Amino acid sequence: MAEDLVLDTAIRDWVLIPLSVVMVLIGVLRYFVSKLMRSYQVPDAKIVKEGQVIVRARNLRSGANFIPSKAFRARRIYFSNEENGLLFVPKGQAQNAQAQMFSDPNMAMDMMKKNLSMIIPQTLTFAWVNFFFSGFVAAKIPFPLTQRFRSMLQNGIDLSTVDVSYVSSRSWYFLNLFGLRGLFSLILGEENAMDDTQRMMQMSGFGFDPTKSLSAEKDGLDIVQHEWALPKFEQRAEAVLRKLVS
């Protein structure tokens, strides 16, 4: 078991604090750069319309029992008939997102911009941290932790004898990278705080195919059993009035 390590105050002044400050500054810089590079995208009328169709079809499905059955049947046919229903997607027309991406260079360009603003500063800072501060023990957290945290807190130090509550500089970098979101939302305003984790999630959500949700909605609509809820309301109204009058 290692004895208590004494950390030089110079480490605090020259590693810990500069690292955090640099991370914050890079985050702010990246925000402004991505703001400059952001291109205004004109939304496609077809995509907007598909989104609205889905909302309306979902409303129809959930509120079906509140309108007379004649009205419901008319709407169902309007949405899901096989000729020109709004939810009906012709077989060949269902283009997949991949093909769409290749056909539209703007889309690829946008993705590249997003990626660039994310990856370049990250690689640079990581290289910088690795070059200057590799193998540092930069901080000590004031409570003991179990061995499992070793890989999280002591990235870059391959010593099993160092107590887990010591934090290596590379781990400090990672902690900052993922933990500064709250600070950014304070500095840049609520909606501007886009941290990397969120961005990664967006990336994986790419390639989403609206035609799929259209046909899913159509299937859902096809199996809805219409049962008009209004006749029940007469009895309920009677009950309400009885209570009111008595």
Partner 1 sequence: MVTKTEETQLNRLESQVEHGGGGAWDYLCLVRKLKVRRSDKVLKYGLSILNDPKKRSGLGAEEWTLYEQVAIAAMDCQCLDVAKDCINVLQKRFPESKRVGRLEGMLLEAKGSWAEAENAYASLLEDNPLDQVIHKRRVALAKAQGNLPGAIEFLNKYLEIFMADSDAWRELAEIYVSLQMYKQAAFCYEELILAQPTVPLYHLAYADVLYTLGGLENLQAAKKYYSSTVDLTGGKNTRALFGVCLCTSAITQLTKGRNKEDSPDLQSLATAALEKDYKQRASDKVSVLASALKSLKVSS
Residues that bind partner 1 (CB under 8 A): 42-43, 45, 48-49, 52-53, 55-56, 59-60, 62-64, 66-68, 71, 75, 230-231, 233-234, 236-238, 240-242, 244-245
Q: From the CB of 52, what's the least distance to partner 1, in Å? A: 5
The two tokens of residue 87 are 């939810």
d(CA 177, CA 137): 18
Q: From the CB of 218, what's the least distance to partner 1, in Å? A: 16
Side chain identity, residue 218 = K
At a CB cut-off of 8 Å and minimum separation 6, what does 85 contact? 77, 78, 79, 218
Q: From the CB of 88, what's the least distance to partner 1, in Å? A: 16
Q: From the CB of 177, what's the least distance to partner 1, in Å? A: 29
At a CB cut-off of 8 Å and minimum separation 6, what does 24 contact? 180, 183, 184, 187
Nearer to partner 1, 1 or 45 (CB): 45
d(CA 20, CA 153): 16
d(CA 200, CA 43): 23
Q: From the CB of 25, what's the least distance to partner 1, in Å? A: 22
Nearer to partner 1, 127 or 229 (CB): 229
Nearer to partner 1, 12 or 38 (CB): 38
DSSP 190: G
Range 52-58, long-range pairs (CB < 8 A, 24+ positions): 53/79, 53/86, 53/87, 53/214, 54/210, 54/213, 54/214, 54/217, 57/86, 57/87, 57/217, 57/218, 57/220, 57/221, 58/217
Nearer to partner 1, 203 or 237 (CB): 237
Q: From the CB of 233, what's the least distance to partner 1, in Å? A: 4
d(CA 199, CA 29): 17
Nearer to partner 1, 74 or 203 (CB): 74
CA 133 to chain centre: 32
At a CB cut-off of 8 Å and minimum separation 6, what does 12 contact? 139
Nearer to partner 1, 48 or 200 (CB): 48
The two tokens of residue 217 are 């909605």
Q: From the CB of 227, what's the least distance to partner 1, in Å? A: 14
Nearer to partner 1, 58 or 140 (CB): 58
